[in-house]
Structure 1
Amino acid sequence: MTDQFTLARLGAPGEEIPVVRHAGRTLDARSIASDFDPAFFASNGLARVADALGSLPGFDAGTLRVGAPIGRPGKIVCIGLNYSDHAEETGQTPPVEPVVFMKDPSTLVGPFDDVLIPRGSVKTDWEVELAVVIGSTARYLDSPEEALAHVAGYAVSNDVSEREYQLERGGQWDKGKSCETFNPFGPDLVPASQVADPQQLGLRLWVNGEARQDGTTANMLFSVAHVIWYLSQFMVLHPGDVINTGTPAGVALGIPGNPYLRAGDVVELEIDGLGRARQGMVQA
């Protein structure tokens, strides 16, 4: 369909320019958005982009860096153990309610940016995930059936994790999830209206060209709609907030020999219809 579009942000970190990808062209969106940030989503920004598609000027992307397709979110909420095969490979019982943890919003980086292996880390791991960006405030939703109306769009997310920090150092999971650069995101944000069914998307990830994860969102224990409804009972989900919805089997933690990431490794990941990303690992 000619009215389909995606959102992207191009430029150096902190200087990203909001652009729209439409009909094979890159369009400059600065006339209608200073950034694709929480204020943009709160002000019905996607509808304004759709209305302006015919008038947005072209943009020469050149060799500009691809940033995360949204500005820093107010929060990143993550769902753990949301695929039964992943729970099994990590030796944990599938949960009866969603496992919820938070991730520092400053971890969000571009889809092709380097990921920093933390100093002293020997257990840095990968996780391909379907990310949800909230488009309108969700609080105390009455049912999961209401939830998807609050989604702005979807993106590819790598919920990078340090397993020793997460599981062996006491406390909560957050400190194994919030190291700098630990959430590569994008390349694009695909509006929810262009994703027919978020529970029918294939997710794949490779490390140094070797396939590690190959799953489908059909195997989520708790659907996207259920997760949004559930979270809304405990916190307010604001426009621009991100939800990482869990990862299928195939992480280093669950593979014999535990081939954790090292400096020089390359991770590639993709989700059907949402694009492909690539990150190199470097030492912090």
Structure 2
Amino acid sequence: MAENKNAQQTGLITKKDVRNSFILWHAFAETSLNFERLQALAFCNSLTGILKKLYPDKKDLSAALQRHLTMYNTEANWGAVVNGITIALEEQVAATTDEETKKSSTELITGLKAGLMGPIAGIGDSLDFGTLRPIVIGICVPFVMNGSVIAALIPLIYQVLYMFICSNILSQAGYEKGKNSIMNILQSGKIHKIIDGFGMFGLFMMGALSATYVKITTPLVITTGGGNSINIQETLDGIIPCIIPILVVFAVYFYIKKFGPHYLRILLAIVIASLALSFFGVL
């Protein structure tokens, strides 16, 4: 009787269930973190409604909840694909009557989550936090400084749209294609092209923002013996415009590349150098 009940569970999960699951995931992914299991509570909470549908027997439901309370941590937006894959696999487990197959399938779910959370976090952090979000904020900052209220809201609007469009698509794709979906993405090489492309665009934008916000000039004027004066800034601009800001940006870049991102140390060095050079009239 129990076998027939489990066998009937497949096909119960709808697109609405998957969408509700990813909404719950995003609502709590970054708010229920703890040192022991990180995002496990949020992940388990996002699947609770679906697991109740799949496992009407309390013993099976308890086992399913316990396996999703193990340590889990990934990037929330792209991590939605893991939710979709897990739902598809849980649906298969619920329809399985053979105990050995069910045991191996549950082990597959746990192993797949552990194996995917790192690569998915790397992709999500690179694209979202490392590239797209800084670009959006960087584009909006000049307009905000000029008093644009809409520009101040655009990063928030972008994040909401990005979450509901991109993450919903990934969650549904993960559910529809199962574990093969993310494997195809990771093995196809397309994701590396996307990251490289956005990375180059990000560098382009960082260069544009550096040219816009890094303002360094020198008031130095050299007077020759014949009474002629040479304006150092005009001379430098005649050779390479904005050469001083370029040199400062590249100096910071090479320091980070060689010694690491010690941002507080860099900030203090810039402040001290700026005060000293301004005091002596060099900059």
Q: Which range, TM-score by smaller chain?
A: under 0.3
Larger helix share, 1 or 2: 2
Larger strand share, 1 or 2: 1
* TM-score (normalised: structure 1): 0.22
Greater relative CO, 1 or 2 (CA 8 Å, sep 6+): 1
* TM-score (normalised: structure 2): 0.22
Q: Which has the larger radius of gyration?
A: 2
